Amino acid sequence: MFARRMGGAVLGAPLLGLLDGVALARPAVAEAEAPPLEQHIVPGDRITVDNGVEVVVPPLYHEVVTARLTTTAGLAAQEELRLALDDIERGHVVGPSGLLVTVAYGTPYFRNHLPRLKDGRRFPDYLPVDLGRGVPALVDAVRFPSDPETTVLEHNDLVVLLRSDVRLHVTAAREQLLARTKGIFEPTSFRSGFVGAGLPKRFAIAAGIPGADAIPDEAQLFLGFTSTQRSALGPTRIANFESLRGVTDQWPDGYFKHGTVMHLSHMFEDLEAWYSGRDYLFRVWATFRPGLDPPEGTRTLPENASVLQTEQEVIAGFADQGIVGHSASLQPVSRLPAATVDNRGERYAAGTSLVQRADFNTLDNPFGWTAHERADGFRPGHAAGLHFVAFTATAGIFERVRSAMDGRYPNGATIDGGAQGAALTPRDPELGFNSILRTTHRQNFLVPPRARRAFPLAELA
């Protein structure tokens, strides 16, 4: 049954098989080494240097399975899922060279399956609290100003993110998990993709994507620039619920300590418009910030604290240059404004990123397979895009960062041209990537700690 229903998902297997000959050197992760308490942290990261900038090398292959529960989230289902997850990890180190498994839960899981706990707490009162906003740290996703009205706000019960440098590790884990969980949940979509220097052009050409020939040969992403600069990614446990002081109520011993919030979305990327309508320098400015003048073909630029822009500098840059850089627009709200010490005593410098990302290129259209073809806008064939995955301590943090991408800041400020012009529209060609992206789907999820990844709170209901 599942093989037949998931048949559309494996249509891309011959194309994705191009990954099978790719090998990456990784720092050794001892088999006896205990996995992290967190599901979202990646042990065994590899760091390379490009243009003098340290770059994190993500796992090569990624799959996402969304699902809905078909049974009660009780103790029996909890134990069955726990065993199934343990089984798919057996024989693999927890890391890119082995297998990374992240299980997360949407608000429908909590609202519909855990409306009330034994102690009387009702949804959403048992969820982590965003202390800054006085609301749950997990809330439903919203459409942003640059999103089309057709953007689907999803309502999946759960999501499983599988990552590895070895595609077979992921596909075998997915097949085994679905076989083991029949009667517990059924998939609603299947999404896959890749990250790696040189892969975007290779895959896009093989898929016949318009504009593919213009992708730089060694680019990490379809849009041609590196996005995993070490200084641009949130370090260690900064995205944990309990880490930063005053962010949530999970310190020191909250049920979801070592957990986080995951945002998942899909967007199409218009490569033809990006490469044919804009020269190299324009693409640099739109990606990073105006005023840069790197040598033609440079893929990786610094994103450390020394080059970060304030809200005032972003607004002034547009007034002077008539363009806003994507990275620059986010920095006023995506980075720590001052040095801080977290609840564990770990020190973070000013400018440290609050966001841990795990996004990846895709040729899904918009998914590899979906149970709801019409509602999801499923089309046969391939399309260039991105499955965006981000981890933050609250959904509110992600909302602030994503709103900044549209030129909207928490204090009500918007990016405008001062005396020279009016405010930018959210999809203005001069506002970062916005005009060449089209978001199709969004949903927020709660990522529990590893020890509670199988139907969290079921034992308390």
Q: Sketch the domain layout of the chain as residue ranges.
A: 48-460
Residue type present at position 441: H
Backbone angles phi, psi at 256, to 5 degrees: -100, 20
Pairing label, strands 129-130, 340-341: unpaired
- Exposure of 143 in the CB half-sphere (CA atoms within 13 A): 14
* pLDDT for the residue 30: 54
Pairing label, strands 340-341, 347-348: antiparallel
* pLDDT for the residue 241: 99
CB contact at 8 A, 303 and 242: no
Instruction: Please state, in angstroms and rounded to a whole number, the distance separating the CA atoms of residues 404 and 452.
Output: 33
| Closest residue by Cα to residue 56 from 66, 44, 67, 68 | 44
Query: What is the 3-state secondary structure of 408-455?
Result: ECCCCCECECHHHCCECCCCCCCECCHHHEEEEEEEEEEECCHHHCCC
* pLDDT for the residue 415: 86
CB contact at 8 A, 94 and 29: yes
The strand pairing partners of 269, in sequence order, are: 437
* CB crowding 5-30: b at 16 or more within 10 Å, else e: ebeebbebeeebeebeebebebeebe
Q: Is 229 exposed, middle or buried (0-12, 13-18, 19+ CB in 10 A)?
A: buried
* pLDDT for the residue 5: 43
Q: In 3-state terms, what secondary structure has residue 105?
A: strand
Pairing label, strands 152-153, 340-341: unpaired
- Token look-up 């700690």 returns 449
User: Could you tell me the pTM of the whole model?
Assistant: 0.95
Q: What DSSP designation does 221 have?
A: S
Instruction: Please state, in angstroms and rounded to a whole number, the distance separating the CA atoms of residues 300 and 49.
Output: 9
Backbone angles phi, psi at 152, to 5 degrees: -85, 125
| Closest residue by Cα to residue 355 from 244, 256, 219, 436 | 244
CB contact at 8 A, 396 and 132: yes
Is cis: bond before 124, omega within 30 of 0?
yes
Q: Which two tokens stand for residue 39?
A: 């599901």
* pLDDT for the residue 16: 76
CB contact at 8 A, 217 and 198: yes
Q: Mean pLDDT in each 10-residue stretch from start to end of the chain (461 residues)?
A: 41 66 63 85 92 96 98 97 97 94 99 98 99 98 98 99 96 96 97 95 95 97 98 96 99 99 99 94 97 97 96 92 96 98 98 98 96 96 97 99 97 72 83 98 99 99 97
Backbone angles phi, psi at 130, to 5 degrees: -80, 100
* pLDDT for the residue 6: 47
Q: What is the CA radius of gyration of the chain?
A: 21
